[in-house]
């Protein structure tokens, strides 16, 4: 941390050594790498699904009904005779999409909120964080259930509702990061040079706070996906004809004695993806040397 003239130079200089070290550490963590690889695989499959799915999503075969895995249907079929592999692939698209998008919503709101609060400080900070505390104390599960029941379930509302729950932790983390960074000399230098607060936040603070942000984002995605699965299980999340892993699991649970594959395969897909995200997140946390927040 030096006080050389150009802020841009600073950022670059600090950035490269931090990331480079982190990458080296991450590389040694086999589990995290494995997680990353599996995640990548899931994402690629999800993206390519419309082209590589073996059957059409809606193709029913009522006479076949539910059947165990076979050559024609690698994962078996559901009670409509629809191919389970296709269902799992399409379900993955939705589950992953909800996971990423809702997390992005949470990220956007949380980071902005926390950055402003942490940077400006004083009364503004007090009010903003007060609000966070109040919202944090609300029993969110209860409210989400209520929201979904009251306003019907469309996918947009789902994103918003889930995002609205998760942004709080992000805001807190960002705020404490920003608070500690703000006192650093390089920021004081930027202030004295006359840069606007917005620019400072954007160019100096956020890049340096990226570490914890990345870690928590990676760890928020699985919790969002679980939340979606939970809501879908209650009938409040994704609605048919769309499907998600959560929906598939809830259907499968009902018939698991006769048709266990309907539960096992979607269950594996979800669990595997969550594993990967968590291992990756843990690895990133260790690599970037981020301390667990007491929040």
Partner 1 sequence: MVSGNRDGILHYGNGTEPQGLDPHVVTGVPENHIIRALFEGLAVKNPITLEPEPGVAQRWDFSEDGRIITFYLNPEAKWSNGEQVTASDYVWSWNRALHPMTGNEYSYMLFPVKNAEAYLKAEISDFAEVGVKALDDTTLEVTLNEPTPYFVQLMDHYSTFAVHPETLLRFGEMTDRYTPWTRVGNIVSNGAFTLSEWSLNRRIIVEKSQHYWDRDTVSLNGVVFYPMENVVSEERMFRVEQLHYTQVVPLDKIPLYRDMPDTPYVQSAYLGTYYYLINTKRPPVDDARVRKALAMTVDREKLTRTVLQQTAFPAYSITPPDTLGYFPPKLFDYDPTEARRLLAEAGYPNGEGWPGLEILYNTNEGHRKIAVAIQQMWKSELGIDITITNQEWKVYLDSVTQIDFQVARRGWIGDYVDANNFLDLFITDGGNNNTNYSDPLYDDLILYRAPAAKTREERYALFEQAETMLMDEMPIIPIYTYTSKHLIHPSVEGLHSNLMDSLNLKYVKLIPGRTLPEALR
Partner 2 sequence: MLRFLLVRILQALPVIFVVITATFFLVRSAPGGPFDQEKVVIPEVRAALEAQYRLDLPLHEQYFAYLGDLAQGDLGPSFKYPGRSVNEILFAGLPVTAELGLYALIIALVIGVTAGVFASLKPNTAQDYIPMSLAMIGICMPSFLLGPLLVLIFGIWLDWLPITGWGDIPGDKILPAVTLGSAYAAYIARLSRAGMLEILSQDYIRTARAKGLPEWRVVTQHALRGGLIPVIAFLGPAFAGLLAGSFVVETIFQIPGLGRFYVQAAFNRDYTMILGTTVFLSTLIVFFNLVSDVVAAWLNPRLRQQFKGGSA
Binding site for partner 1 (CB under 8 A): 58, 60, 62-63, 65-66, 79-80, 149, 152, 235, 239-241, 251, 253-255, 257-259
| Min dist. Cβ of residue 87 to partner 1 (A) | 12
| Min dist. Cβ of residue 167 to partner 1 (A) | 27
Q: How far apart are the first and last CA of the chain?
A: 28
Residue 70 Rama label (left phi>0; alpha psi -120 to 50; beta): beta
Is 49 or 60 the residue whose CB approaches partner 1 more closely? Answer: 60
List of residues contacting partner 2 (CB under 8 A): 130, 133-134, 137-139, 141-143, 145-147, 149-151, 222, 226, 229-230, 233-234, 246, 249-250, 253, 256-257, 263, 267, 270-271, 274-275, 278-279, 291-292, 294
CA–CA distances in Å: residue 142 to residues 149, 161, 186, 207: 11, 12, 45, 36
Q: Burial code of 241-260, b = ≥16 C-beta within 10 A, e = fewer?
A: eebbbbbbbbbbeeeeeebe
Is 113 or 259 the residue whose CB approaches partner 1 more closely? Answer: 259
Is 206 or 274 the residue whose CB approaches partner 2 more closely? Answer: 274
Is 15 or 235 the residue whose CB approaches partner 1 more closely? Answer: 235
| Min dist. Cβ of residue 237 to partner 1 (A) | 11
Is 8 or 149 the residue whose CB approaches partner 2 more closely? Answer: 149
Radius of gyration for the chain, computed over Cα atoms and rounded to the nearest angstrom? 23
DSSP conformation class of 77: B
Which of 14, 15, 37, 16 minimizes the C-alpha distance to 283?
Answer: 37
| Min dist. Cβ of residue 46 to partner 1 (A) | 23
């Amino acid at each position: 941390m030096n006080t050389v003239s150009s802020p841009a130079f600073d950022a670059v200089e600090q950035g490269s050594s931090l990331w480079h070290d982190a990458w080296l550490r991450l590389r040694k963590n086999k589990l995290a790498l494995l997680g990353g690889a599996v995640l990548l695989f899931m994402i690629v499959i999800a993206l390519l699904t419309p082209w590589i799915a073996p059957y059409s999503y809606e193709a029913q075969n009522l006479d076949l009904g539910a059947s165990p895995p076979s050559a024609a249907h690698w994962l078996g079929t559901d009670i409509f005779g629809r191919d389970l592999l296709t269902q799992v692939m399409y379900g993955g698209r939705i589950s992953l999409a909800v996971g990423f998008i809702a997390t992005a919503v949470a990220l956007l709101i949380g980071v902005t909120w926390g950055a402003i609060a942490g940077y400006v400080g004083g009364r503004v900070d007090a009010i903003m964080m007060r609000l966070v505390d109040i919202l944090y104390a609300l029993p969110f599960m209860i409210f989400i259930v209520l929201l979904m029941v009251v306003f019907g379930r469309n996918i947009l509302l789902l994103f918003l509702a889930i995002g609205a729950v998760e942004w709080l932790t992000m805001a807190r983390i960002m705020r404490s990061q920003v608070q500690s960074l703000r006192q650093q000399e390089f920021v004081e230098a930027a202030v004295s040079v006359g840069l606007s607060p917005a620019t400072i936040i954007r160019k100096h603070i956020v890049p340096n706070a990226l570490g914890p942000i990345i870690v928590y984002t990676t760890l928020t995605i699985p919790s969002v996906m679980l939340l979606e699965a939970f809501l879908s299980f209650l009938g409040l999340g994704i609605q048919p004809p769309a499907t998600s892993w959560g929906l598939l699991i809830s259907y499968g649970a009902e018939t698991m004695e006769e048709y266990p594959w309907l539960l096992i395969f979607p269950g594996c897909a979800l669990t595997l993806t969550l594993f990967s995200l968590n291992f990756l997140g843990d690895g990133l946390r260790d690599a970037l040397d981020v301390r667990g927040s007491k929040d």
